[in-house]
Amino acid sequence: MAYVHVAHDCRVGDRCIFANVVTLAGHVTVGEWVTIGGLTAIHQFVHVGSHSMVGGGFRVTKDLPPYVLAGREPMRYEGVNIIGLRRRGFTGDKLATIENAYRVLYSSGLIFSDAIKKIESDFPQSEEITTILSFLKNSSRGIIRS
């Protein structure tokens, strides 16, 4: 949309929607099917995971995992992007798996590394779990918190 700025060395996946005045600083990576609300600034070197959605008027200074809905100031996890995922054909079982994985990460009280280990051990391998774990393990800026 109007006045979107994508700075140097950014990578933007397919089928993304950036509302008015979204600003990506240098070296930002945005996955596929990402929606970013208007007047949102994304800090340099941040990674935004596929199928996530960011509310409008916020600053994104930490990595945003895939499949999540994020908002507030400071930026935080608001839940799973259920509506967007349903529109893209994710089944109820896949949605439940994603929600349960993020429940371990954000609501179990475990430290980050222990939450990753629990997701690895307690969840059957699936494309969604592999995507989440890969993103979490490769995050260099740290992820948004709840």
Q: Which residues are tagged catalytic?
A: 8-9, 26
Peptide bond between residue 65 and the one before it cis (omega within 30 degrees of 0): no
Question: Among 51, 50, 4, 9, which Cα is nearest to 31's?
Answer: 50
55 is written with which tokens? 């509310």
Alpha helices in the chain, H assignment, sequence order:
82-87, 92-107, 112-122, 127-138
Rounded to whole angstroms, the Cα distance separating 85 from 81 reads 6
